[in-house]
Amino acid sequence: MSTSVTSEKTSETAEKQETTWQTLRRGLALSPELRTGLAGTLLLALVYMVGRVAVPVAVQQGIDRGIVGGLNLDVVWSVVAITALILTITTICGYLMMRRLFTVSETALANVRTRAFRHVHDLSMLHQQSERRGSLVSRVTSDVDQITQFLQWGGVILLVNLGQLVVTTAVMLAYSWQLTLVVLVAFLPAVFVIRQLQRRLGTAYATVRQRTGTLLGTIGESVVGAPVIRAYGIAGRTARRLDEAIDAQRVAQQRAIRISIVGSSVGELAAGLALAGVVVLGVTLGVDGTLSIGQLTAFLFLVTLFIQPVQIATEVLNEAQNAIAGWRRVLDVLDVAPDVADPGEQGRKLPGGPLDVRFAGVRFAYPGGPPVLHDIDLEIPAKSRVAVVGETGSGKTTFAKLLTRLMDPSAGAVLLSGVPLAEVRFDSLRSRVVMVPQDGFLFDATVGDNVRFARPELTDEQLSAAFTELGLSDWLEGLPAGLDTPVGERGEALSVGERQLVALARAYVADPDLLVLDEATSAVDPATEVRLQRTLDAVTRGRTTLAIAHRLSTAQAADEVIVVDRGRVVQRGPHDELVRDADSVYGLLYASWLEQTR
Amino acid sequence: MASKTSRDVLSRGLGVLRQAIREQPRIFAVAVVGSVLFGGMIIVSARVVGTVVGEVALPAISRREVGTGTLALAAAALFGISVLRVAGIIGRRLGAGYMQYRLQASYRRRVTRRYLELPLSWHHRNSTGTLLSNANSDVEAAWYPIAPLPFAVGTLVMLVGAIVSLFATDWALALVGLAVFPALFALNVVYSRRMAPRQARAQRLRAEVSGIAHESFDGALVVKTMGREAQETARFAGRAGELRDSLIAVGRLRGVFDPLLETLPSIGTLAVLVVGAFRLRQGAISVTELVSVAFLFTVLAFPVRAIGWVLAELPRSVAGWDRVRRVLDATGEMPYGQRVLDSAGTLGPATLTFSDVHFSYPPAEAHQPGAQVLGEVGFTVPAGRTVALVGPTGAGKSTIASLAVRLVDPDSGTVCLDGVDVRELTAASLAGTVALVAQVPFVFDDTVRANISLDRPGIDDEAVWAALRLAEADGFVAALPDGLDTMVGERGTSLSGGQRQRLTLARALAGRPRLLVLDDATSAVDPRVEAAILAGLRSSTAEPGVPAASILVVAYRRATIALADEVIYVEQGRVVARGTHSELLATVPGYVDLVTAYEQAEVERAQESPYGDEVAPLPSGLEIEVDR
């Protein structure tokens, strides 16, 4: 828990390094569609704001020319009629302004959302895994939501109120510069205090967000870990942790609202001060003959119009800051250059036919970590079936990831049929090279839909045929609804082994020329595994397959075994040959395997 | 029909608000008092402004002479009103905020308590995402109208006060008020009614967009390795587009109503000018009264919005409340019993007995029959013995493991520990007696130490290290940067699969269970490491050679099976055969296929191979040793 707190803190401070304007510029550069018709929208907004000061001006005109000093109903009538006309126009302009604003901004933000989504998928596996999953999801959900919600609510308020502040000040100045000065002086300390408070409010809201994150994590753990909590009878401990997280969030929320209340109280007091000042000075000026009674009345109305924006500003500016921070986080994701990038149009296609593999001086280390693979030089001929074996942590999975270009080597190159992987276009690579990861992740859909993931055009008949070819038709028929059986969230309605079967079928129908299996059948029972192995052998004949395995049955069936130990290839050759040296790494692994299975 | 349902939502929404007030009456009273004070001061301030203009400024300007005392009094009154308004604001906002947050916290606590109490079968029926949002966003939505509620109540009081004060001033001006205030109120109601379904739709789409993002990023590796980024993006973009359209629809409605809600009071002020001028000519009112009423119309517009806010949030609140209630009212807890086994902690290994156990998972939809997973399952794990549970993928082995530690209860039949039905045991006694190591390891986002001890009493660092040694995990834990204090990260992402398995194994061992249930719990561990772990499990730490626990082990590996005193072979949820490994080998063809799969494959390969005679010789001595 302590680490997550500190990382949140550092990200908060990192956020502060870029100013709001820089973020806005960067955001506008990324979404030029936001500028569409901006001038027109601003013009409409300006007209809309004029409506706000129409009533005080009408009150002044009506009182001065139609009421005080001789009642003249005709003047009152015409003042009211003109003002009503102005209000009609400004109301329509308000509607048009909002309509344009929302259409443009929502469209632009939906595009940003979709681009960020795509970009996350384009990031390398390492990068994806270095982020908490939830935080990547936030980039395309809550962060963007925060921006749109702000625009819908606070954004308009902010825009209109800023305008109101300007227009009101202008009208006040037109009536009396002395009274305007009084109002400004009354508000000056409030503005200063509110600025200070706003900074503290920002920190307070940041704490709320961070504690909400912790709370969500704690709730998530209590839900996902329900079996463990029950099995170990630790409901009491879990409840305590939940209570702590819930209360911590509540305390932070209460603190934030206290600061916010101080802000609006200060604004309110300033308003009282301004009103009192205007009355005292206004009457004095009126006695001197420089201010009419209508102007004084209008001023009292204008002061309330002046208060509103200042009071609302505390709240809205904070929302604005949150929205900007959200935008910044989205932009930051979009700005990360994918470190394993698709060469795209400039790239090459893989040559047709079976693929051979070459590792040329390949070295690999995780960022900031010790080397995992050292100077691997090796060739795998086309159509051969190769098993990579080694103890946990020997680097064998790294092989699979380099071969499928989930990661790039730190030095050296991996070549497929002579083409360096880094030059291969992803559409070519992903359709010809398919990996089955150990965790058979399934989407919340039917078995059939999961299998046709890579090739949506396949019919149910073709899918059934594929299961039959893999020798899995009995299993499929045993499911409640065959291909239409829903697999549940992450495939959890199926057993772990069954998920692997579906994942394997999914890779099989993708029809790759190079199939990489990363312990793809580790949770399947031995009889099924052996059966699968044999059918896979048959159906992948003519293609290149590379299987990462700790069940050595896979190695025995392979044309060649590559033995990895501490990041180096220490042995290679057919199983029968390797096993002769009983003291070799493979010999020992095999002895242990026999001990386990015989 | 639509209006009927929306009236229904309104009355139910008010019911939710009543519930809130019942739970937090005192703080609500504070908020309402503050709000009424604030509203009252708005009416008073309009009066004072009118009086200042009509009684102070007007005579002073016409007489060209100012009375300092009156002026000071006017200024003091205006400032004094401000101070009282501040008091009102503090009471209202503090009360409303505290009330909202307290209710949220209280219901989050109740919902998560319920999660801990409800059985796993209930958890299985609800997705993780649903449960998360029940405790988070649904609770939040339920109490969302609480924030503006005191303001709205205060505003209602203030509106009544305003009408009364208008009638006290002049009936003609009061009529203007009677036209404008209800219109303003009605406009707010219409606005909220129209907005609610649009907001609900946007909210639903937001959740769907989030669901797609969650799933797609969870399956990022599959998406990547199959090159389906473009299709996934299209799937996401489709839903994001719907969300965009729904938000634009929300915005357009806002565009219609926001300017209207602002213009209406302005129109009211203009009407006051016209009507007021007439009445002024008739001598029925004074300038003071005219200005008071005009000012009142200007300052009333904003608070009336609060009523709209409450109404707008009601549908969301009702929906959230319904989902929260669904959790709180869910039944089917698995209550624990009163009996305690081995209270002195002196008993040795426990005996596990399954008698005629049937089990089916509840159906996904109510009208479908549940899928029967187990039928007529009966077997015994005698004290101190190791029993292996063997069967093909999907045979029901994990379900048997869950039943043994009472994660789920059977439909019929009994599961007994030392002859006592597990349903009669207390939670503590059950947890102290049995431990399950699941197929998929789960670790908490906490330190290694906390993951193993789980704050259970009597598990100190020494016990943690002993358990780690037994699970062959002491080596890698010692090599971690902070040892036992190392944080393992969300879901243990900083560890490998095998390391996570060994941690969960150590967690089980640390509690010194009398029955250990291993559900294929070493699948991600290398064979050599597994062999070492199993050897350690077979003899207790205290007395070598004497087993510390009975063991029920789900296994495929023959070495694991060979350690068992008895093997139970299951197929399609039924016990097909039981006996020693060699007995089953001799009599059960399905068992033979399963456990000798690798050898058979090898033999067949050897026959197919032109070098069949060069197959590596089996170290026969080993086989005898293991099969003993």
Check A441 against B222: CB less than 8 A apart.
Answer: yes
> Torsion angle of alpha carbons A409, A415, A416, A420, nearest 10°?
90
Select from B189, B203, B201, B199 the least CA-distant residue to B309. B189
Which range, A301-315, A435-449, B191-205, B406-420, is most confident?
Answer: B406-420
Q: Residue A492 pLDDT more than 50?
A: yes
- What's the pLDDT at B620? 35
Name residues 377-416 of chain A within 8 A of B (Cβ). 391-393, 404, 406
What number of residues does chain A have?
598
Question: Is B234's pLDDT higher than 70?
Answer: yes
Taking CA atoms, B594 is separated from A348, A557, B557, B573, in Å, by 46, 18, 10, 16
- For residue B77, give both structure tokens: 């009154």
Nearest to A597 among B89, B210, B558 (CB): B558
Strand-pair partners of B446 = none
User: Tell me, what's the pLDDT at A479?
Assistant: 83
Question: Residue A286: pLDDT above 80?
Answer: yes
Confidence class for position B256, pLDDT limits 50, 70, 90 = very high
B311-342: b (≥16 Cβ within 10 Å) or e: bbbbbbbbbbbebbeebeebeeebebeebbbe
Measured in Å, how far apart are chain B's first and last C-alpha atoms? Answer: 78
The dihedral formed by the CA atoms of B228, B234, B237 and B239, expressed in degrees to the nearest 10: -100
Mean of pLDDT over chain B: 84
DSSP 3-state of A453: coil
Quick one: tokens of B177? 């008020």
In DSSP notation, B382-431 reads: -TT-EEEEE--TTSSHHHHHHHHTTSS--SEEEEEETTEEGGGB-HHHHH
- Across the interface, of A67, A227, A286, the residue whose CB is closest to B120 is A227
Three-point CA angle A535, A491, A124, nearest 5°: 85
Convert B367-381 to b/e letters by CB count within 10 Å (16 or more is b).
Answer: eeeeeebbbebebbb
Number of H helices and E strands in chain B, helices first, is: 24, 10
Question: In this complex, do A596 and B120 lie within 8 Å of one another by their Cβ atoms?
Answer: no
The predicted model gives B209-218 an average pLDDT of: 87
Percent of chain B clearing pLDDT 90 (strictly above): 30
Determine, for residues A106 and B560 on separate chains, whether the beta-carbon distance falls below 8 Å: no
Is residue A133 within a helix (H) or strand (E), and if so which, with residue range? helix A133-140
> For residues A269 and B90, is the Cβ–Cβ distance under 8 A?
no
Lowest mean pLDDT among A356-360, A500-504, B343-347, B439-443: B343-347
Of the given ranges (A97-101, B197-201, B250-254, B466-470), which has the lowest mean pLDDT? B197-201
| Mean pLDDT to the nearest integer, B382-409 | 88
Please say if the pLDDT value at position B192 is more than 60.
yes
What element of type H or E holds A121? helix A73-122
Confidence of residue B487 (pLDDT cuts 50, 70, 90): confident
Distance from the Cα of B232 to chain A's closest Cα (Å) equals 8
pLDDT above 70 coverage of chain B, percent: 88
Is the CB of B232 inside 8 Å of chain A's CB atoms? yes
ipTM: 0.84
Instruction: Check CB contact under 8 Å for B454 and A523.
Output: no
Domain ranges of chain A: 21-176+324-337, 177-290, 347-597
Residue-wise DSSP of B251-277: HHHHHHHHHHHHHHHHHHHHHHHHHHH
Q: What is the pLDDT of residue A6?
A: 34
Q: Which two tokens stand for residue A214?
A: 């912790």
Cβ contacts of B295 on chain A, cutoff 8 Å: 300-301
The rounded distance, in Å, linking the Cα atoms of B490 and A213 is: 13
- Using the 8-state DSSP alphabet, how is residue A358 labeled? E
List beta partners, residue B437: B518
| CA–CA gap between residue B405 and residue B401 (Å, rounded) | 7
| Interface subset of A 431-470, CB within 8 angstroms of B | 431, 434-439, 441-444, 453-454, 456
> What mean pLDDT comes out for the span A219-238?
87
CA distance B64 to B55: 14
Residue with tokens 């789900």: B554
Helix or strand or coil: residue B492?
helix
* Homologous superfamily of domain range A21-176+324-337: ABC transporter type 1, transmembrane domain (1.20.1560.10)
What share of chain A in percent tops pLDDT 90? Answer: 22
Q: What is the pLDDT of residue B501?
A: 87
| Contact call for B558 and A283, based on CB within 8 A | no
Mean pLDDT, range A557-561, rounded to an integer:
87
Residues of chain B with Cβ-Cβ distance to A95 below 8 Å are 255-256, 259
Q: What is the mean pLDDT of residues A409-421?
A: 92
Closest CA to B123 of B361, B307, B367: B361
Q: Tell me, yes or no, if B557 comes closer than 8 A to chain A by beta carbon.
A: yes
Is-contact A422 A413, C-beta < 8 A?
A: yes
pLDDT at site B345: 61
Residue B625: predicted pLDDT: 32
Mean pLDDT within B140-154: 91
Predicted confidence at residue A199, as pLDDT, reads 82
Q: Is the pLDDT of residue A84 over 90?
A: yes
Both tokens of residue B442? 């789960």
Distance CA B296, CA A304 (A): 12
> Which of B326-330, B424-428, B605-609 has the lowest average pLDDT?
B605-609
Burial B495-511 (b: 16+ CB within 10 A, else e): bebbbbbbbbbbbbbbb
pLDDT of residue B245: 95
CB contacts of B217 in chain A (<8 Å) are 120-121, 128, 133, 136-137
Would the pLDDT of A274 be above 80? Answer: yes
Query: Packing angle between helix B229-282 and helix A38-61, nearest 10 degrees?
Result: 10
**Per-residue pLDDT at A561:** 92
Of A10-24, B203-217, B592-606, the poorest mean pLDDT is in A10-24
* Nearest chain B Cα distance for residue A444, angstroms: 8
Helix (H) or strand (E) holding B132: helix B128-133
The mean-pLDDT minimum among A429-443, B452-466, B592-606 falls in B592-606
Tell me the CA distances in angstroms from B334 to A188, B27, B118, B415, B419, one per residue in order. 64, 37, 7, 14, 20
Long-range contacts of B562-566 (CB under 8 A, 24+ apart): B562/B626, B562/B627, B563/B386, B563/B388, B563/B534, B563/B538, B564/B386, B564/B387, B564/B388, B565/B382, B565/B385, B565/B386, B565/B387, B566/B385, B566/B387, B566/B388
Amino acid at site A277: G
Is the pLDDT confidence value at B624 over 50? no
Q: Is the pLDDT of residue A16 over 60?
A: no
For residue B541, pLDDT beyond 70: no
Distance between CA atoms of B12 and B24, rounded to whole angstroms?
19
The b-or-e profile of B190-229 (16+ CB within 10 A means b, else e) is ebbbebbebbebbbebbbebbbbbbbbbbbbbbbbbbbbb
pLDDT tens-place string over residues B563-590: 788 999 998 889 999 999 889 989 988 8
Torsion of CA B457, B461, B462, B464, to 10 degrees: 80
| Weakest-pLDDT range from A554-568, B235-249, B491-505 | B491-505
Q: Of B425, B267, B246, whose CA–CA distance to B352 is shortest?
A: B425
Taking the CA of residue A99 and the nearest CA in chain B, the distance in Å comes to 5
Chain A nearest CA to B401, separation (Å): 11
Instruction: Flag whether residue B64 sits within 8 Å of chain A, measured between CB atoms.
Output: yes
Q: What is the mean pLDDT of residues A535-558?
A: 81
Q: How far apart are CA B568 and CA B391, in angstroms?
A: 8
Distance from CA of A304 to the nearest CA of B (A): 8
What is the DSSP-derived secondary structure letter of residue B618? P
CB contact set of B1 (below 8 Å; sequence gap of 6+): none
What residues of chain B lie within 8 A of the CB of A254, using their CB?
Answer: 97-98, 101
Task: Find how far residue A90's CA is from the centre of its chain.
Answer: 39
Question: Quick check: A406 and A124 in contact, CB under 8 A?
Answer: yes
Mean pLDDT for chain A overall: 85
Residues A59, A298: contact at Cβ < 8 Å? yes
Residue B540: pLDDT band by 50, 70, 90 thresholds? low
CA distances from B601 to A135, A553, B27, B254, B558 (A): 47, 8, 75, 71, 15
What pLDDT is attached to residue B572? 85
B327 touches chain A (CB under 8 A): no
What pLDDT score does B490 carry? 67
What's the pLDDT tens digit per position in A116-163? 999 998 888 877 777 766 678 888 887 888 888 787 777 777 777 888
* Side-chain-facing half-sphere of A433: CA atoms under 13 Å: 28
Is residue B58 a contact partner of residue B51, using CB atoms and an 8 Å limit?
A: no
In DSSP notation, B161-200 reads HHHHHHHHH-HHHHHHHHHHHHHHHHHHHHHHHHHHHHHH
CB < 8 Å from B in window 323-382 of A: none
Q: Which of B278, B520, B593 sits opposite A527 (nearest CB)?
A: B593
Q: How far is the C-alpha of B215 from the C-alpha of A441, rounded, in Å?
A: 10
CB pairs under 8 A between A and B: 505
pLDDT tier, B122 (very low <50, low <70, confident <90, very high otherwise): confident
Q: What does the DSSP assignment read for A494-519?
A: S-HHHHHHHHHHHHHHT--SEEEEES
**Does residue A287 carry a pLDDT above 60?**
yes
CB contact under 8 Å between A280 and B71, yes or no, is yes
For chain B, domains (ranges, CATH) are 23-328 (1.20.1560.10), 352-595 (3.40.50.300)
Nearest to B79 among A87, A221, A272 (CB): A272
Question: Is there a contact between A87 and B60 if contact means CB atoms under 8 Å apart?
Answer: no
Scanning A349-480, the segments in alpha helix (DSSP H) are 396-403, 426-432, 447-451, 460-469, 473-478
A contacts of B132 (beta carbons < 8 Å): 216, 219-220, 223
Q: Name the fold adopted by A347-597.
A: Rossmann fold (3.40.50)
pLDDT at B344: 60
Among A275, A349, A450, A472, pick the best mutation site for testing chain B contact (most B Cβ within 10 A): A275
Q: List phi, psi (to 5°) of A392.
A: -55, 135
Residues of A with CB below 8 A from B511's CB?
Answer: 232
Cα(B228)–Cα(B236) distance, integer angstroms: 12
Contact between B298 and A301 using a beta-carbon 8 Å cutoff = yes
CA distance A91 to chain B (A): 5
Q: Confirm or reject contact between B484 and chain A (CB < 8 A).
A: no
Residue of B nearest to A486 (CA): B364
CB B268 within 8 A of CB A116: no
The pLDDT value given to residue B242: 96
Mutate to test the interface with B, among A117, A247, A524, A566 (most CBs of B within 10 A): A117
Question: Angle, to 10 degrees, between the axis of helix A235-288 and the axis of helix A177-224?
Answer: 170
